[in-house]
Amino acid sequence: MQICLYSPRGGFYSSDQTNINKHFMTSPTSHPVFGELIARQLEQMWHILEEPPIFHVIEVGSAGGTLAQSIVRSCYRMNPMFSEALCYIAIDYQPCRAQLPSPFNDLGLWVDDEIYPYHKDIGPEIHRSKPMDFRHSKM
């Protein structure tokens, strides 16, 4: 399966992004309102955490950065203080392929291996694709 999906020579996710979009469409690519709603939820989480000076958001499986752009732009419009605290990290299997247009490149949005104390992971695909062992405990 890994070869079929990630092989540099014809793997599904390694191939041209336009071919991938012929097979399926994700919520972030359908309309920017998806990112705006997530941005609003992230701002609420930031307030609940008592507005830490740095708030890390980690998006796993960011592909071309559509969701990242939508969230970062929305945060900037909604609340400049939250926008200053926001440290958005977009992770993808092939980060060299995922390039955000300026001015996002200058913000250092593409990082691939750091862990942060205050963060919220975005990327349900990564959780759905991993085997999970659910355990129930008696209360």
- What separation in angstroms does the CA of 99 have from each of 46, 65, 82, 109? 27, 7, 24, 9
pLDDT of residue 137: 40
Sketch the domain layout of the chain as residue ranges. 26-129
| Residue among 70, 97, 69, 89 at smallest CA distance from 13 | 97
CATH superfamily of 26-129: Vaccinia Virus protein VP39 (3.40.50.150)
Give, for all 139 residues of the chain, the pLDDT tens digit: 777 777 777 776 666 555 555 665 666 667 778 899 999 999 999 999 999 999 988 887 777 788 888 899 999 999 999 999 998 887 776 544 444 444 445 444 444 434 444 445 555 554 445 444 444 344 3
Predicted structure pTM score: 0.61
